[in-house]
């Protein structure tokens, strides 16, 4: 049995790769590709009459495979199905780091899942509060209620939009510019930041359209997303490259953080670095840049 460390609510999640929980060949060592989080799917990838088999496969994987530093999240079936309660029991019993709530539309949906998770934690002797939650917004109603969803529980670490279902509801198709989901993405981002949780973009399904994929990832970064959902390992590296800070940003962040630490020790609040005034407000962002740089192999110092 593989013990997993207590999940971190806020960690680096540039890439979350979906894989069918029923495919042992895929899930046995998905961590080798260097993805930040893997998303084992019990929902759409699994046929209706295979849900139970997929749960067995998932439980076995969680209990026997050492995923190391890679976060393991499970996408459970929607609350309108007969599967989600049993899905939650399996996730908690197996020790998944987090659960992705499919088709989430309200704070109540989060609370409903949270209650079932807590019951499962008690049932299986898992520390109460260990299992994290994230919500997938797949409908206009979900987007409109984004803030209350993000803020519904201290277990919530983030929110993601699911393009397929959302576009269906909106009667739109994917566009090159991303205008079809611009408002939804923007609203979700604002809600996530307001609630202090992370925000992830939807999958890009045309594996042959490399240019389209790169353009979308660049836009994701510019809009302020923390990461992107992926469907193939070959999408991981481009995402990590695009989400990486520039060398200039890293150097600046390093200078700010070290100057801040020095100033703090001397009891100074505001100081200048290379002629620019810097105060405490700049520091969390600079620290985030350094953490990201460290994950990208661009920073080896010990400030973070």
Partner 1 sequence: MKNAVGRDIPESLLTNGREVYQGKNYMDGKYMQKAAPKTRRYEKPQESKIVDSIVDALKAVGARSGMTFSFHHHLRNGDFVVNMVMQAAIEELGLDEITIAATSLGEAHDPVAQYIEDGKVVAIQTSGIRGKIGEVVSAGKLKTPAIIRSHGGRPRAIEAGEVHIDIAVVAAPTSDCVGNCRGIGGKSNCGSLGYAMTDAKYADHVIVVTDCLVDFPNMPASVEAIDVDAVVVVDSIGNPKKIASAAARISQNPRDLMMAENVAKVIASTPYFKDGFSFQTGVGGPSLAANLFLEQEMNKRGIKMGWAIGGICGPMVEMLKKGLVGKVIDVQDFDLDAVNSINQTPGHYEMSASQYANPANKGAFVNKLDFVVLAALEIDTGFNVNVLTGSDGVLRGAPGGHPDTAAGSKCCIIVTPLVRGRMATVCKNVVTVTTPGDCVDVLVTDYGIAVNPLRPDLIQCLDEAGIPHVTIESLQEKAYSLVGTPDDLEWEDKVVAVLEARDGTILDVVRKIKPVKL
Contact set with partner 1 (CB under 8 A): 28-29, 32-33, 232-234, 297
For the CB of residue 48, give the shortest distance to partner 1 in the complex, in Å. 28
Rounded distance between C-alpha atoms, residue 270 and residue 260, angstroms: 9
Cβ proximity of 107 and 82 under 8 Å = no
For the CB of residue 136, give the shortest distance to partner 1 in the complex, in Å. 24
For the CB of residue 32, give the shortest distance to partner 1 in the complex, in Å. 5
Nearest CB to partner 1, comparing residues 19 and 21: 19
Nearest CB to partner 1, comparing residues 129 and 233: 233
- Give 83's DSSP letter: -
Nearest CB to partner 1, comparing residues 85 and 232: 232
CA distances to 11, 35, 107, 158, 203 from 15, in Å: 12, 6, 25, 13, 10
**CA triple 95-136-44, angle to 5 deg:** 75
Rounded distance between C-alpha atoms, residue 119 and residue 18, angstroms: 27
Nearest CB to partner 1, comparing residues 64 and 274: 64
For the CB of residue 289, give the shortest distance to partner 1 in the complex, in Å. 20
For the CB of residue 204, give the shortest distance to partner 1 in the complex, in Å. 16
Cβ proximity of 135 and 107 under 8 Å = no
Nearest CB to partner 1, comparing residues 157 and 204: 204
Rounded distance between C-alpha atoms, residue 265 and residue 32, angstroms: 42
Rg (CA), the chain: 20
């Amino acid at each position: 049995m593989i013990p997993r460390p207590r999940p971190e609510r806020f960690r680096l999640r540039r890439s979350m790769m979906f894989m069918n929980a029923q495919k042992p060949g895929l899930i046995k060592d998905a961590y080798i590709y260097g993805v930040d989080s893997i998303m084992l799917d019990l929902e759409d990838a699994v046929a209706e009459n295979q849900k139970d088999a997929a749960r067995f496969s998932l439980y076995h994987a969680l209990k026997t495979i050492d995923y190391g530093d890679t976060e393991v999240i499970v996408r459970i079936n929607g609350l309108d199905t007969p599967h989600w309660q049993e899905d939650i029991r399996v996730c908690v019993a197996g020790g998944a780091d987090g659960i992705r709530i499919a088709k989430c539309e309200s704070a109540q949906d989060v609370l409903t899942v949270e209650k079932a998770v807590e019951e499962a934690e008690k049932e299986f002797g898992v520390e109460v509060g260990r299992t994290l939650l994230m919500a997938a917004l797949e409908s206009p109603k979900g987007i409109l209620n984004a803030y209350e969803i993000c803020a519904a529980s201290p277990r919530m670490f983030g929110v993601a939009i699911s393009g397929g279902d959302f576009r269906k509801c909106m009667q739109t198709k994917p566009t090159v510019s991303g205008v079809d989901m611009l408002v939804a993405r923007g609203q979700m981002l604002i809600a996530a930041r307001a609630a202090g949780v992370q925000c992830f973009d939807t999958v890009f399904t045309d594996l042959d359209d490399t240019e389209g994929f790169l353009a979308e990832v660049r836009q994701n970064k510019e809009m302020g997303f923390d990461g992107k959902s992926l469907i193939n390992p070959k999408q991981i590296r481009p995402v990590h490259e695009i989400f990486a800070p520039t060398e200039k940003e890293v150097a600046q962040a390093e200078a700010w953080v070290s100057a801040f630490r020095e100033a703090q020790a001397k009891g100074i609040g505001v100081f200048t670095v290379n002629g620019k005034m810097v105060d405490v407000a700049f520091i969390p962002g600079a620290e985030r840049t350094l953490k990201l740089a460290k994950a990208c192999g661009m920073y080896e110092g010990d400030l973070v």
